[in-house]
Structure 1
Amino acid sequence: MAKIPTASLMECEKAMPVIGLGTCAYPRPDSGTAKAAIVEAIRAGYRHFDTAFAYGSEKPLGEAIAEAVNLGLVRREELFITTKLWASFAHPDQVVPACKMSLQNLGLENVDMYLIHLPVRLKEMVESFPVSEEKIEALDIKGVWEGMEECKRIGLTKGIGVSNFSCKMLQHLLSVAKIPPAINQVEMNPIWQQEKLREFCKAEGIHVTAYSPLGANNTKWGDNRVMGCDVLAQIAKAKGKSVAQVSLRWIYEQGVSLVTKSFNKERMRENLQILDWCLSEEDHKIISQIPQRKASNLAAIFGPHPLVLQLDADL
């Protein structure tokens, strides 16, 4: 297998492998299943792992890292670990404690990237979704970002960034940030190509990471539009590749990194096999003409509240 290329990131001490394994799954697997799958992913060649407090996967990921290190499969410094600040902790006074809690879950001294998970704050911890409108409020971008900068300053993370931020929210953040965001992690695939956002991020030096690169058809809020796309299927057949590989290769050729989620051994390895071939100009032209539609939105998670609907409209 070809070595996974890396991307250099603004204000981050470490380059990031451009193909990562996501650990968000619905329904959540038991801890042992998740841990075993992550160890297998390390064996397969993955070095970038994406988790979040909200996924409930920090502990099994940490256990898998410890096991892989003990087995001599990898050194900690060879891994790039991303986790995220959950909306319930998105308050200036809670950012550093929340990061420390995630590090405790992971059993690590620091992570390589810490992201603001969502552009909204929950006033309290919630057990189920959707949530009532009074529990949601606008994110204090300046105050929360100062907390993120403090996490980097004291060595809890090597880099900081955001997830699910629109151009408008990024503009606001850039106007108040001392350290600019290294990453914006957003939904992106051939069915939701994010051209405007990608152009904005490129101009500002913000690296884009794609989640749901295959449409997240196995999660609660995803769909099958990518894997069931006839256009991608025709290209895949002509190239002797899978639809998943065509979608991932298209993302990679946009200069975007990606985190794809599969705990199936064969699919994990297949998703890495996108580096020794390329799409043609004609392939790109055909893919650019696919009708666009976003699969996931904040209203599906939180409910159709005015603030949430406005954030979805901006995205």
Structure 2
Amino acid sequence: MSPQSRPPQDAPTEDTVAALGEFGLIRAVTENRVQPEATLLGPGDDAAVVAAPDGRVVASTDVLVQGVHFRLDWSSPEQVGRKAIAVNLADIAAMGASPTSVLVGLACPGETPSATLTELADGMWAEATRAGIGVVGGDVVHADQLVVSVAALGDLGGRPPVTRSGARPGDILAVCGRLGWAAAGLAVLGRGFRSPVSVVNAQRAPEPPYAAGPAAAVAGATSMIDVSDGLLADLGHIASASGVGLDIHTERLRVDQKLVEVGAALGADPRHWVLTGGEDHALAATFPPFADLPQGWHRIGSVLMPDTAVTIDGRPAENGAGWEHWR
């Protein structure tokens, strides 16, 4: 890791990142961590070495910025760490690949408590372990706010990648994972509440169904996407890339009872969260008409003749639904 220039600052206190220093921080977040077999060379050298049995590597990256993607008055550092890994690995799963490793770039002010960073790392390692992978390297630098950048790698297992552009008229539209929970949690936090905890934690630390991506690929999925910006918005990407229309059948949408209760308490329609709320990182995919859907997947609609529009029960969906940066 190359040295980074830092602006002058007051003498650091003992419990801050500045007191640890760059290499002390690296040791604090990497020592005594157990790597999986796929990690041939982990942190400590100029670069990591990771096994790639397929001969191809699926790669993705995301950046999380304090105040945009997370708030430390809403989430613990451990939850932020879990979220940083989860949002990246969901993209790997959406290609039909199995995650193999992640690299982490971290920027923060020198006065950041060292405990914040070690707890952040604990969350990252916990989520990586849940996915059966390791954190194999990264970088740390000084910045004016906390920023976490994660690059994720995956293996296709000999299969072709499942892209957004393969949906065909007559296909089944299906999803796996929770929808609307993170949006409901955001609504609860935005009102100043911290419960119900199960809903709030869905916003703080999503739990993508990593294994569902490769399972969908094996089952013959024709297209797939990570639902990060909202179901309607992300299905719009499949419709545009594939040149087809997608119709959601509302009677097939699952609106969990907990969301119904939260919606009643906040005066909100829980179906709106299910259709437009992002950050649950469920997976949406299309399958051939007579495919047997893998465990955990359920049908929510159909692929129509070329149209590139997303409709709900045959009617046009709202424009601009879902999250988009700078809008």
State whether TM-score is above 0.5. Answer: no
Higher helix share: 1
Which structure's CA Rg is the greater one? 2
Normalising TM by the smaller chain, what interval?
under 0.3
Q: TM-score, normalised by structure 1?
A: 0.25
Q: TM-score, normalised by structure 2?
A: 0.24
Higher strand share: 2
